[in-house]
Amino acid sequence: MTNIRTPVERSDARIKINGKAEYVGDIRFEGMLYAKTLRSTRPRALIHSVEIPPIPEGYFIVDKHDVPGKNRVKIIADDMPFFSEDRVNYIGEPILLVVGPERETIAHILEAITVTYSDIEPVYTIEEAEKGSAPPLFGSDNLFASYEIVKGDPISAFSQASIRFEDIYRTGFQEHAYLEPQGAIGAYENGRVTVYGSMQCPYYVKNALIQGLGWAEDRIRVVQTTTGGAFGGKEEYPSLIAGHVAFAAIKAGSPVQLVFDRAEDVRFTTKRHPAIIRIASALDAQNRIIAMNMEIKLDAGAYAGLSEVVLQRAMFCSTGVYNIPNARVRGSAVATNNVFTGAFRGFGGPQATFAVEMHMHGLADRIGEDPLVFKRKHLLKKHDSTVTEGTIRQEVVLPALIEAVTGPSDYRGKLQRFQSTKGTVHRGIGLSVFLHGCAFTGSGEKDKIQAKVKLRKTRDKTVEILVSSVEMGQGPQTTLKKIVAHTLGIPLENVIYENPDTDRVPDSGPTVASRTVMIVGFLLKKVAEKMRESWNSAPEFELQERYEQPPFVQWDQQRFKGDAYPVYSWGTNVVEVEVDSLTWEVTVKGIWAAYDIGTPMDERIVRGQIEGGIAQGLGYATMEVMNSSEGRFMQESLFDYVIPTAVDLPNIHSTLIENEYEYGPFGAKCAGELPFVGAAPALASAVQHALGVPITRIPLTPDYLREVTQGED
Same domain, 643 and 691: yes
Decide the pairing of beta strands 555-556 and 586-596: unpaired
Q: pLDDT tens digits, residue range 163-182?
A: 999 999 999 999 999 999 99
pLDDT of 5 reads 37
The answer to the question of residue 11 being in a domain is no
Which of 261, 289, 316 is at the close of a domain?
261
Same domain, 427 and 478: no
Q: What DSSP string runs through 18-42?
A: -S---BGGG---TT-EEEEEEE-SS
The answer to the question of residue 540 being in a domain is yes
Mean pLDDT of 392-413: 98
Q: In what order do the strands lie in the sheet with 495-496?
A: 495-496, 463-466, 452-457, 541-546
The CA distance from 305 to 308, in Å, is 8
pLDDT at 712 over 80: no
Of 253, 260, 241, 259, which Cα lies nearest the Cα of 31?
Answer: 253
The CA distance from 307 to 295, in Å, is 16
Same domain, 217 and 228: yes
pLDDT of 713 reads 56
The CA distance from 310 to 146, in Å, is 12
- Residue 81's Cα: distance from chain center in Å? 22
Same domain, 597 and 448: no
Structural contact between residues 414 and 430, judged by C-beta atoms closer than 8 angstroms: no
The answer to the question of residue 475 being in a domain is yes
For residue 391, the tally of other CB atoms under 10 A from its CB is 14
pLDDT of 19 reads 64
Distances (CA, A) of 144 to 163, 306, 460, 604: 35, 10, 54, 41
Chain-wide mean pLDDT for the chain? 95
Of 674, 664, 448, 667, which Cα lies nearest the Cα of 555?
Answer: 448
The CA distance from 523 to 546, in Å, is 7
Q: What DSSP string runs through 492-527?
A: GGGEE-PPPBTTTS-----S-TT-IIIIIIHHHHHH
Q: What is the DSSP code (8-state) at residue 274?
A: P
Residues of the chain with pLDDT > 90, as a percent, come to 94
pLDDT of 137 reads 79
Same domain, 458 and 576: no
Structural contact between residues 91 and 40, judged by C-beta atoms closer than 8 angstroms: yes
pLDDT of 147 reads 98
Q: How many residues does the chain have?
A: 713
Decide the pairing of beta strands 652-656 and 586-596: parallel
pLDDT at 420 over 80: no
Taking the model in full, what pTM does it have?
0.96
Helix (H) or strand (E) holding 686, with range, is helix 679-691
Helix extents (H) in 539-658: 603-621
Same domain, 422 and 478: no
Same domain, 77 and 31: yes
The CA distance from 340 to 248, in Å, is 24
Distances (CA, A) of 392 to 45, 49, 395, 552: 50, 58, 8, 11
The CA distance from 519 to 566, in Å, is 11
Q: pLDDT tens digits, residue range 618-633?
A: 999 999 999 999 999 9
Q: In what order do the strands lie in the sheet with 586-596?
A: 425-437, 568-580, 586-596, 652-656
Same domain, 114 and 243: yes
The answer to the question of residue 170 being in a domain is no
Decide the pairing of beta strands 628-629 and 561-562: unpaired
CATH number at residue 115: 3.90.1170.50
Look up the domain containing 248 and give its range.
24-120+184-261
CB-based contacts of 594, cutoff 8 Å, min separation 6: 400, 401, 402, 404, 405, 571, 572, 654, 655, 656, 657
Of 533, 456, 523, 467, which Cα lies nearest the Cα of 495?
Answer: 456
Same domain, 67 and 212: yes
pLDDT of 8 reads 37
The answer to the question of residue 583 being in a domain is yes
CATH number at residue 540: 3.30.365.10
Mean pLDDT of 556-570: 97
Q: What DSSP string runs through 82-145?
A: SS--SEE-STT-EEEEEEES-HHHHHHHHHH-EEEEEE-----SHHHHHHT-SPPSSTTTTEEE
pLDDT at 13 over 60: no
Quick one: pLDDT band at residue 421, thresholds 50, 70, 90? low
Angle between helices 476-488 and 522-533 (to 10 degrees): 30
CB-based contacts of 535, cutoff 8 Å, min separation 6: 457, 488
Same domain, 431 and 480: no
Helix extents (H) in 410-465: 411-417
Number of domains in the chain: 3
The answer to the question of residue 682 being in a domain is yes
Quick one: pLDDT band at residue 141, thresholds 50, 70, 90? confident
Q: pLDDT tens digits, residue range 323-376?
A: 999 999 999 999 999 999 999 999 999 999 999 999 999 999 999 999 999 999
The answer to the question of residue 677 being in a domain is yes
Of 69, 618, 16, which Cα lies nearest the Cα of 350?
Answer: 618
The answer to the question of residue 686 being in a domain is yes
Same domain, 59 and 79: yes
Q: pLDDT tens digits, residue range 513-562?
A: 999 999 999 999 999 999 999 999 999 999 999 999 999 999 999 999 99
Q: pLDDT tens digits, residue range 16-36?
A: 456 678 999 999 999 999 999
Angle at 218 between CA 213 and CA 221, to 5 degrees: 75
Same domain, 497 and 608: no
3-state SS string for 192-224:
EEEEEECCCCHHHHHHHHHHHHCCCHHHEEEEE
Q: In what order do the strands lie in the sheet with 183-189?
A: 60-62, 94-100, 33-39, 256-259, 183-189, 192-197, 220-224
pLDDT of 234 reads 98
Which of 209, 234, 261 is at the close of a domain?
261
Quick one: pLDDT band at residue 300, thresholds 50, 70, 90? very high
Of 350, 270, 353, which Cα lies nearest the Cα of 613?
Answer: 350
Structural contact between residues 144 and 307, judged by C-beta atoms closer than 8 angstroms: yes
Mean pLDDT of 457-474: 96
Which of 206, 240, 261 is at the close of a domain?
261
pLDDT of 415 reads 94
The CA distance from 686 to 427, in Å, is 8
